[in-house]
Chains A and B, each alone.
Chain A
């Protein structure tokens, strides 16, 4: 679980969140003893059928974030390189592949999977990564193939993805030798949708000035909507979190003391520099109020119909933020800039994540043209700290903030 940056008035729910995540990982790690099947699944994958079938979903990407926050990324990535994996590959994949072999990392490695579920709506990397793991663990792999929607969600894409939902369920039934209970499935679908709505609401609270939380908090609180999507736990927790945020708004508690500037973040967090980045920006009274990353787990609510969850899930999982054209991504960025009343845009050019990072420069140009706000691009990697230059990034942040100050007066 990522570290939480310091702040003036701590968010109380953070402790609860930590406990929930600990409980989740304990359950996952003891799944074998309790005869519960474990599925590894990609962060944007359709987890609901797993939850409905009592299969414990485990997310190597969330584990990657923990590795990054624990500053264990460099070591594990280097191990993968010794195994022959190029240092230019995604650091989540490198860290995970190495971790499986050396059982390293903050929790001594993930529980062994009984099956792997790979949804390529985020990237082509996961396809290759899960192939590697399927060979390593010698377990069945299901590929949930969601063709990119450069433009439209065409009828043939819709049919193809919908068919795969049935194939997916048949796969789960074969592997577990159990039937999916459709009533339970409907219930999980409703909880998933509710969880996503609540998560959106959490993120929306930062439209308030000053913002009661920051994107750094969102990076932390994200873990539940990723790992416990479709459960009552996530729903209850986010309700409490919203209450706390609303109370903070009423009390005038802000995330950044004397918030003066409001920034938008793009791409994955730089897990190994969260605290550092957070304090760099807050020194300038700048709050990163929103980001394109955490909102990906509630960005497709509009496609979900809770009464036809499985059918509508096909579209929702296919049209997530990373699986659309760069021009559509730019549109979403512009909407966020308006909604959160943003003064500056910070883009993390992330060596690990090509589908997220290629196209950023075009988005940058569009944002500049359409809004005139300053844009900063910093070079980093979410888990592997070796390409990060603190002094260089610091200088660039200072210069960027100077421009914002002058612009805002």
Chain B
């Protein structure tokens, strides 16, 4: 399907995607993490583009970050220092984990782009004062953007962006929903290209194409693809071969708890409240990233209910090596899954992962077991 191809194109040729967007006269703002206020970036007239590692060899970043830093952070820094991100006009760092926190400093101290901003979100989300602070931080970020563009960002623009991003969210949710009801309707490789592409390509184009894809798939008579229904859990999964390996082993993906998945797009921003507080509210309501605190058992409850809702047969934890927030949560998530009689496996990987032979063996065994 041509619409799906466009997403694959966008994610596999990021510099070209960027130069297309620049040709339309828009500046590109890179962002890290799923807590970046994309709507504001977009409303300011920038094109928000989530940064991923190109997975090139780490050479220049060796002079800034030790080997015990996660491959995502090292990989993105390498790309920047190496000039591979020279299409950027700036970058935005929401505060999440310790490694990102220091990447922000190192980036700023070696900055190559015109714009730089930190968005120092609260670490706890479940108190009223954290909510107020969150809104104030967004207001500060809005001011930073206004200073950069030399004019105010009217609420109408922010609202327009919010409704555009909500459209993307709605369609992605619809897709996941369809796929979880009829697994195999779309391959994992395609599905995740759609998610990643929605963080990279022109948002209007993404929203339109996603809507086409959803209505196209809705009309298809669903294939019967038997397979073990699986949920992925972790931070970033930017290794499409993983999805292939799962499917080859006889698994089907029916949902996820990834920041390159449902954690990023689930839940709309309310459109009938003042935009900044509505955005803050969404960050507080959405499924939590383990770098944030929102109760002691929230993540486990989410995961268990996701499994139940999607009638999944098991959970696959994909852990990026050296990722503190996720590895801290693993023992308790596993314990809670065990308690609910849900099988899980863990696989520790690198964003630069070369060979998936080991993963293939592990997932085959796991699928046989469940």
Contacts and interface: CB of A to CB of B under 8 A. Distances in A.
Interface of A: 83-86, 88-90, 93, 120, 123-125, 127-129, 131-132, 134-135, 141, 143, 145, 147-148, 150-151, 154, 156-157, 159-160, 163-164, 167, 325-327, 349, 351, 354-355, 357-362, 365
Contacts of A157: 120, 133
Contact of A129 (B68, B106, B328): B328
Contact of B296 (A134, A156, A167, A358): A134
> Nearest 4 pairs between A and B by C-beta?
A84-B331, A128-B328, A358-B102, A156-B136
Contacts of A131: 293, 296, 328
B40 to A, nearest CB: 16
24 contacts: A84-B331, A85-B328, A85-B330, A86-B327, A88-B322, A88-B327, A89-B324, A124-B96, A124-B325, A125-B98, A125-B328, A128-B324, A131-B328, A135-B297, A141-B296, A148-B95, A148-B101, A156-B137, A156-B140, A167-B129, A358-B65, A358-B99, A362-B64, A362-B109
A163 B324 contact: no
Interface string B297-331: 10000000000000000000001011011011111
B331 A163 contact: no
Interface of B: 63-66, 68-69, 95-99, 101-106, 108-110, 118, 120-124, 127, 129-130, 132-133, 136-137, 139-140, 290-291, 293, 296-297, 319, 321-322, 324-325, 327-332, 334, 348
Contacts of A125: 98, 324, 328
Contacts of A163: 129
A246 B322 CA distance: 46
A361 B140 contact: no
B257 to A, nearest CB: 16
B120 A124 contact: no
Contact of A160 (B129, B290, B297): B129
Contacts of A89: 324, 327-328
A148 B100 CA distance: 12
Contacts of B99: 354, 358
A84 to B, nearest CB: 4
B30 to A, nearest CB: 17
Nearest to B291: A124
Contacts of A143: 123-124, 293
Given A83-B331, A160-B133, A351-B68, A362 B98 contact: no
B233 to A, nearest CB: 14
A355 B101 contact: yes
Contacts of B123: 120, 124, 127, 143, 145, 147
Contact of A128 (B64, B65, B66, B325): B325
B35 to A, nearest CB: 13
Given A84-B330, A147-B122, A160-B133, 10 more contacts: A84-B331, A88-B327, A125-B324, A131-B296, A143-B123, A326-B106, A326-B109, A359-B106, A361-B64, A361-B66
B143 to A, nearest CB: 11
Contacts of B106: 326, 358-359, 362
Contacts of B109: 326-327, 362
A159 B63 contact: no
A354 B122 CA distance: 19
B271 to A, nearest CB: 25
A325 B108 contact: yes
Nearest to B118: A150
A198 B121 CA distance: 35
Given A89-B324, A355-B98, A362-B106, A84 B334 contact: yes
A102 B203 CA distance: 53
B119 to A, nearest CB: 10
Given A124-B291, A156-B137, A164 B97 contact: no
